[in-house]
Structure 1
């Protein structure tokens, strides 16, 4: 069940799409995707669905001021060199987006981008990098994630996925899971785990709340947690144990 659901729900975010036609603009702030085959692209309409979901379920992470997105490498790829992100259409609309030091950025609401069926485009290949929602409560250590943040992150990710996969898949998955809430479905009274990325490789992850704790599954730079287990509150924390840095020969 978990494999089928994840493959169907998130497959559209992993499949390569043809690159959009890019105006021949040669300015410092342009993304320059002209020579990049199949860059990472999301429709602006899908990103708006993520923003709407963030606002609807903001109570899961009330201290997070806005939804941000992050550029993440795939399959052992290094961090992207000089990443650029912008909103564009097939005509003349171009809106560069600012990235912070951690390759995170926010996407503004734009009537022009919506009217022109714009796309959010990264100047990196889809096979090597991806754009992913990133929800983090300010003030937490780098190795600590809050459960409510992850729940909201899942909500926004699924909202984007539902806009980018065919409607018949959405209907089919709703029927398969017996719910429209893909983040919190149950199967035979079990709570399937959701996997999340860590910034660096990890060797352990512990879910903690009050006087109890639970050891979570980890695999390389990912950890898994059952988002639908309501016995754990949104303020429960996941402490990640980072792998030791390799010795410098």
Structure 2
């Protein structure tokens, strides 16, 4: 199963509660002198925006697609984290980051014409750039399954745009489908002796986890966790988009983390 999951994750070039503070305009991003800055093609980001619009019904209460920056390790650079679109002929468009390192990427004809890239003022692979889709009104420790499904679709759309056509065709052939997200937990799949029935998609929380429980009405299931990651069967259609993942963080008791989760009838 790990090998199959690696095929999909390896194909993606994007790798994932407190209220957000007001955004502010950033100073110019200084990346020209930095070796191998983190970049993403604007054309690929647009594919993610298109996919968000196409499958917006998975998370209808979410108004706009946001992205989130998460550090892969300790960030020791003194300069404030910053992000921009940069392209040919000196095109520059600084983007605004909120207090949670979330930002929006606008549709911009000039950015597309300039063959722009999304740049961070950090070295390559210092940060992850991930879609961040969260239905308003949920508690800080709750994630909605439809939101996670849409995050996957956006992530894979961006990854496919940055992959060569032969790479996309290869993964399509291995998974026997073009909708890669549906592979993770597909209860009808018989590929590879039913491995897909067990495959789940990894998502990240903001802190290390003690437990994660998927709840849909009177049905629930304990999810696998590892550090701050939790695995969700987003491709299993028997779980509704309104199902909720309750995250219990490692640390002081919250009053609910020690409770025994309900089991499916």
Structure 1 runs (4+) deviating above 3 angstroms are 78-81
> How many Å apart are 1:223 and its aligned residue?
0.2
Instruction: Give the structure 2 partner of residue 123 of structure 1.
Output: 121
The unaligned stretches of length 5 or more in structure 1 are 15-27
Where do 1:58-77 residues align within 5 Å?
Answer: 58-74=56-72, 76-77=73-74
Alpha carbons 1:40, 1:131 under 8 Å: kept = no
Alpha carbons 1:40, 1:130 under 8 Å: kept = no
> How many Å apart are 1:226 and its aligned residue?
0.8
* DSSP 3-state at the match of 1:183: helix
Match of 1:6 among 5, 8, 12: 8
Distance 1:177 1:104 in 2: 32
1:87-126 C-alpha deviation (Å, 9 max, x unpaired) = 0113211000001110000000000111111001011122
Alpha carbons 1:50, 1:160 under 8 Å: kept = yes
The answer to which of 170-179 and 122-131 deviates more is 122-131
Distance 1:77 1:32 in 2: 20
TM-score by length of 2: 0.82
Match of 2:209 among 189, 192, 202: 202
Residue 31 of structure 1 pairs with residue 33 of structure 2:
no
Alpha carbons 1:85, 1:121 under 8 Å: kept = yes
The answer to which of 188-197 and 146-155 deviates more is 188-197
Instruction: Give the structure 2 partner of residue 161 of structure 1.
Output: 159
Where do 1:42-191 residues align within 5 Å?
Answer: 42-74=40-72, 76-78=73-75, 82-185=80-183, 186=186, 187-188=189-190, 189=194, 190-191=197-198
Aligned length: 230
Give the root-mean-square deviation of aligned CA atoms. Answer: 1.7
* DSSP 3-state at the match of 1:184: helix
